[in-house]
Structure 1
Amino acid sequence: MDKLYLIDTNVLLESPEVIKEYNVVISGLVLRELEKHKLSYNKELAFNARIATRFINENVDNLIFDLKDYQVTFDESLDKDYTDNKILQSCLDNSYSLITNDLLLKLKAKGLNIEVISPKDNDDLDYKGYKFVDLSDSEIAYFYEHINENIYNLYINQYLIIRDLTKNTIDKYRWNGKEHIKLKIPPKKFIRPENDLQECALDLLNDTSIPIKIIAGNFGSGKTFLAVKMAIYHINEKGNYAKLMVVRNPIGTGESIGWLKGTKEDKTDDFFVPVIQNLDGGEFEADKMIQSGKLLKNIPFFMKGITVDDSFMLVDEAEDLDVKLIKTIGTRLGKNACVAFSGDYQQSEDKFIYNNGLVTAIDKLKGNPLVGIIVLDRDVRSEASKVFADL
């Protein structure tokens, strides 16, 4: 029997012609989503849904329709009513392969050994926390005349980077749900952004009204550096928080060196080196901050039941956290506290590919007024480090 491919809604919306290239199965879940999108207030989405429906009708004789309502049984911890989970269950029950452009669904499918095809052929998130717009002089003028209107359909706390038609940056704003506001970052004598996205990240890390911050992106893009520097700025320069709590899950890439003797600190100290090296005084500064109570180190295993008050909590290498661990850490936040998750979802260890808490958090929390997200995309570490990014 020829291999069957269950197609996701996002592919039909973006590339409906794909149904001519494979033995495609269309589920009742997807049909219901298309019907809903046809009535969307988003004109582009509604138009694409109508085009997809037309493609289906024109090729109906070559398609297979699976209208079963699947019960999610492959993982008891997951939401049984979530469409993506039902799609995965249908693939497992019928040995379907999957066609999707959704990174989160793609990661879950790979973790379940489901073959995945992505027409867009990328490993990137649809939502990155910002939008570039290249505008003519008249369009720029129109924007400034309508500064309080959400012209470009931004999520709350999404950044807008305005460029001219030669792609030179003109201005940067963040949409707060009511108006576009200018970015506010520390003085350049304290920290200087390398590019537009780093400036957006600094604005997010600087804003105490947004207690949940996600700084994602590839290695070398400055995630940990920016977060550490801003934590120190809040603590030592502004007095906004009393201490920095650094959280890392002690998961490593490479071969294990076996069981380590000693205390919790002895066994986990090396995992905090990437954070400590971003302090101006390195280990000396870290020791001084620990002695004064300004720096705490923790791992998720020991955090259940505690409350974190008056703190800037930095969760580094957050790609190695599942949804349960993200919840465990996030629910520790107490009074006058914030949390910054920093990580590269493309470097997740194997056990977190299927259930990646960082990607899930970005997907589920975007647009929440208490949450800000920036996905950095440029390696600023060195020219040599960029060479290895493509291996």
Structure 2
Amino acid sequence: MAKKGKTHINPTKKIFVLDTSVILYDHDAINNFHEHDVAIPIQVLEELDHFKSGNDTRNFEARSFIRLIDQTSKQQLISDWVQLKTESAGKFRVILNDQPLKIDAEEIFGKGKTDHKILNAALTLKEEYVNKKVVLVSKDICLRLKAKALDLHAEDYETGKIKNVDELYAGKTELSNFPESIIDEVKKNKFIEAENIALSAKEGNHFYVLKNKRKVVNVFYNYALKTLSAVSTDAIFKIKPKNIEQACAIHALLDPNIKLVSIQGNAGTGKTLLALASALEQRREFRQIYITRPIVSLSNKDIGFLPGDAKSKTDPFMAPIWDNLRFIKDQFSGDEKMTAKIDELITTEKIAIAPLAFIRGRTLTKIFFIIDEAQNLTPHEVKTIISRAGEHTKIVFTGDIYQIDTPYLDSESNGLSYLIENAKNHPLYAHITLQKGERSELANLANALL
């Protein structure tokens, strides 16, 4: 039962109660609350025990958290408060099955559900530490709403979230009344020194549309080289850019100095198609082309529960990638030699299309690596993928931050938004946001009106 009349050492400190969704999002979450204390209901450990087996990222997060708690507690009992990493950090403990004296979430919302037991754990702490603010932290919106209905403070886990996604870096700036002489020089030479040219947003690589009356030139500013280069609108692998943003994307994808690229845009803007066409255009420069996408699990089950072999399990999830590859192949319908070459690339696995979990653990050396639907990744997953890059590897993330299929991610907390915000000033990185849908007028109608 909850104890009354406890002594409170520091009334300004808070107690944050974390649920399972937070741990599966970031296994190091307990170390991100500064001087405040962190508590984990025993039910969270029970749920993590079910998640610890498997090759999915959430399985990795569960295992990492369990090891972290084991290392933190050492010989101490975790039912008591245990000091976290540093003296300036707060303390940690596991809350056992105590029942709150005043408000019982299970009596109100129903018995037997883990979420309601987690609510009771937080309510128990609120009664025990009456002079401290107890806050439930969860990625589950419904659980947060239930907590607030019980007069319990609740909030989302903010670490890694983008504060204003509407102002997320787009990668391109339009400059009017730009000196005509510079526009003419870029058009003539295609490549000029830019150290003394007045440009906004010069902290990283960036695309510009330079205008002066009727004169227009599209350029890429390379931060490391301090140069401006003209952006070509030529076709690659018979795929021609249909707007300036697509041309910018191709420029970044073909630039050997850019090792990390992200392309963000609505469905039908050509993200995956451009990335795949660029990879095929440079197929001789790389040992292999990997194209992958995260598989959003159904009902907390891995794809292993589906019938059939690995290919039959994953083909439905990989279908959009195969569709793009088929579209490129159709551009060479009269060229038997090239269509046979594309088939050979697939047969010999020069082009490898597989779910992200199947590629995990490989060393990515001299690989052109495309990660589609990257908005369904967590920030930690994005970091893990990039950290596996070996020499001469290029990594491309594509996705739509407003079309997320993972329950506990949103436009502010997904890995693609996190990458765009945090990598935008790095000299190895380039980003472009595609605005215009090019799939069909009918598809554009859906995006614009429905």
Tell me the TM-score normalized by structure 2. 0.56
Q: How does 1:230-245 map to 2 (within 5 A)?
A: 230-235=278-283, 239-245=284-290
Distance in 1 (alpha carbons) for counterparts of 2:194 and 2:30: 39
Identify the range of structure 1 (123-132 vs 308-317) with the bigger mean alpha-carbon deviation. Answer: 123-132
| C-alpha displacement of 1:314 | 0.7
Q: Given the superposition, is the C-alpha separation of residues 240 and 72 from structure 1 closer, same or farther in structure 2, using an over 3 Å criterion?
A: farther
Distance in 2 (alpha carbons) for counterparts of 1:110 and 1:363: 24
Identify the range of structure 1 (136-145 vs 315-324) with the bigger mean alpha-carbon deviation. Answer: 136-145
The AA in structure 2 aligned to 1:327 is: K
Determine whether 1:135 maps to 2:177: yes
The AA in structure 1 aligned to 2:170 is: K
Pick from 218, 221, 226 the counterpart of residue 274 of structure 2: 226
Distance in 2 (alpha carbons) for counterparts of 1:195 and 1:186: 8
Determine whether 1:293 maps to 2:349: yes
Distance in 2 (alpha carbons) for counterparts of 1:222 and 1:321: 20
Q: How does 1:127-276 map to 2 (within 5 A)?
A: 127-135=169-177, 147-149=194-196, 151-164=199-212, 169-183=216-230, 185=232, 187-188=234-235, 190-235=238-283, 239-251=284-296, 260-276=306-322
The AA in structure 2 aligned to 1:148 is: E
Q: Given the superposition, is the C-alpha separation of residues 379 and 187 from structure 1 closer, same or farther in structure 2, using an over 3 Å criterion?
A: closer
Q: CA RMSD in A?
A: 4.2
2:404 alignment counterpart: 348
Kindly provide the CA deviation profile for residues 187-233 of structure 1, in whole angstroms up to 9, marking residues without a partner as x: 43633211111111111000122111111111111101100100000
Partner SS for 2:430: strand
| C-alpha displacement of 1:375 | 1.1
The AA in structure 1 aligned to 2:373 is: E
Q: Given the superposition, is the C-alpha separation of residues 73 and 200 from structure 1 closer, same or farther in structure 2, using an over 3 Å criterion?
A: farther
The AA in structure 2 aligned to 1:163 is: K
Q: How does 1:45-56 map to 2 (within 5 A)?
A: none
Distance in 1 (alpha carbons) for counterparts of 2:392 and 2:178: 43
2:365 alignment counterpart: 309
Partner SS for 1:345: coil
Q: Is the 8 A contact 2:234 2:241 kept in 1?
A: no
Distance in 2 (alpha carbons) for counterparts of 1:109 and 1:153: 37
Identify the range of structure 1 (262-271 vs 155-164) with the bigger mean alpha-carbon deviation. Answer: 155-164
Tell me the TM-score normalized by structure 1. 0.64
Partner SS for 1:181: strand
Distance in 1 (alpha carbons) for counterparts of 2:427 and 2:30: 24
Distance in 2 (alpha carbons) for counterparts of 1:110 and 1:372: 34
The AA in structure 2 aligned to 1:240 is: E
| C-alpha displacement of 1:383 | 1.2
Q: Is the 8 A contact 2:183 2:210 kept in 1?
A: no
Aligned residues: 299
1:376 alignment counterpart: 434
The AA in structure 2 aligned to 1:352 is: L
Kindly provide the CA deviation profile for residues 224-279 of structure 1, in whole angstroms up to 9, marking residues without a partner as x: 110010000000xxx111221111112289xx9x9531112111112222122222
Partner SS for 1:352: coil
Identity, in percent, stands at 24
Q: Given the superposition, is the C-alpha separation of residues 306 and 200 from structure 1 closer, same or farther in structure 2, using an over 3 Å criterion?
A: same
Partner SS for 2:263: strand
| C-alpha displacement of 1:125 | 4.0
Kindly provide the CA deviation profile for residues 11-65 of structure 1, in whole angstroms up to 9, marking residues without a partner as x: xxxxxxxxxxxxxxxxxxxxxxxxxxxxxxxxxxxxxxxxxxxxxxxxxxxxxxx
Distance in 1 (alpha carbons) for counterparts of 2:140 and 2:203: 27
| C-alpha displacement of 1:360 | 0.6
Pick from 379, 385, 389 the counterpart of residue 443 of structure 2: 385
Q: Given the superposition, is the C-alpha separation of residues 252 and 309 from structure 1 closer, same or farther in structure 2, using an over 3 Å criterion?
A: same
Determine whether 1:77 maps to 2:28: yes
Q: Given the superposition, is the C-alpha separation of residues 72 and 199 from structure 1 closer, same or farther in structure 2, using an over 3 Å criterion?
A: farther
Distance in 2 (alpha carbons) for counterparts of 1:71 and 1:211: 42
Distance in 2 (alpha carbons) for counterparts of 1:241 and 1:265: 24
Q: Given the superposition, is the C-alpha separation of residues 161 and 307 from structure 1 closer, same or farther in structure 2, using an over 3 Å criterion?
A: same
In structure 2, the gaps of 5 or more residues are: 1-11, 35-121, 123-132, 146-153, 157-163, 187-191, 331-338
Q: Given the superposition, is the C-alpha separation of residues 78 and 155 from structure 1 closer, same or farther in structure 2, using an over 3 Å criterion?
A: farther
Q: Is the 8 A contact 2:168 2:420 kept in 1?
A: no
The AA in structure 2 aligned to 1:243 is: Q
